Amino acid sequence: MSSKKVAVVRICGQTRLNEKVKRTLTLLNLHRKFSCAVFDNTPSVMGMLKRIETFITYGEISDEVYKTLVEKRGQKTKDGLKPFFRLSPPLKGFERKGTKHPFAMGGACGNRGDKMDALLKRMI
Question: pTM score, two decimals?
Answer: 0.90
**Residue 100 sits in which domain range?**
5-123
pLDDT of residue 23: 95
Distances (CA, A) of 54 to 2, 73, 78, 96, 104: 29, 25, 34, 16, 12
pLDDT in tens, the chain (124 residues): 457 899 999 999 888 889 999 999 999 999 999 999 999 999 999 999 999 999 999 999 999 999 999 999 988 888 888 989 999 999 988 878 888 889 988 889 999 988 999 999 999 8
As a whole number of angstroms, the distance between CA 48 and CA 87 comes to 22
CB-based contact 28:36 (threshold 8 Å): no
8 Å CB contact between 108 and 11: yes
Question: How many folded domains does the chain comprise?
Answer: 1
Q: Which residues contact 77 (CB under 8 A, 6 or more apart)?
A: none
Tell me, what CATH number does 17's domain have? Answer: 3.30.1390.20
